Amino acid sequence: MSELQLKEVREVVRKARASSAPGPSGTSYKVYKYCPKLLLRLWYILRVFWRRGRIPDQWRVAEGVWIPKEENSTQLDQFRIISLLCVEAKVFFSAVSKRLCTYLAENTYIDTSVQKGGISGMPGCLEHTGVVTQLIREARENKGNLSVLWLDLENAFGSIPHKLVQFTLTKHHVPSRCRDLIADYYSNFRMRVSSGAITSSWHQGGDRYHHRVYYLCDIVLPSHEHAH
């Protein structure tokens, strides 16, 4: 893969929501949206990380925040955790993720007739929802039978082992530069959770940022099971 381009970084920052909460670095997207010279300086730094294939330790941390799923939530299972990541890491890996998506699409490693969510240029969830809604409407109008199954996988992203991630990337011939960056990012990723005045200790884990990698693993698992 070629070196990270300034236009790629600019595009990521342009599309990012200025209101997004800052991560451990305390820097928000606004800084880079309204300070072009700082954005240029950020690009210089990101190019160094791209060349070295290594990620700074400060990027491997996330602050977890509890968000209630419903009103008057009191039990742990009534909350979900969102991970606040360093904005600089999000900018960098957004550009890497877009390159990965382009590579997968051009080599038809993802069947976009089935998997649309998370793929650039695809309507994704909107199209899936529209198709299901239309099928339900037709079944009701024609008094037909229709069964719809919704699967909500518990800890879907976190359940993928890091070794499977590397196996999947290698199987799909993803360039080594991209593989090394993702492996280095996950090598010591850790998160802590805060609630009020209480903050937990650091716990090692993974983040949900590389959703396209998860989709690839989701494709590999059934085919691997079928082969055995």
Q: What's the whole-model pTM score?
A: 0.76
Dihedral over alpha carbons 23, 29, 32, 35 (to 10 degrees): -110
Contact by Cβ (8 Å): 80, 67: yes
Asked if the structure places residue 113 within a domain, the reply is yes
Asked if the structure places residue 1 within a domain, the reply is no
Asked if the structure places residue 210 within a domain, the reply is yes
Tokens 């959703």: give the residue.
211
Number of domains into which the chain is organized: 1
Residue 110, φ and ψ in degrees, nearest 5: -120, 130
- Segments forming the whole domain that contains residue 74: 6-227
Q: What is the pLDDT along the chain (228 residues), one digit of tens a residue?
A: 788 999 999 999 999 988 888 888 889 999 999 999 999 999 999 999 999 888 898 888 888 888 888 888 888 778 888 888 899 999 998 898 888 888 887 887 776 666 555 566 666 677 778 888 999 999 999 999 998 887 776 666 666 777 777 888 888 888 888 888 888 888 888 888 887 788 888 777 655 555 556 656 655 554 444 444
Cα three-residue angle 181-187-188, rounded to 5 degrees? 125
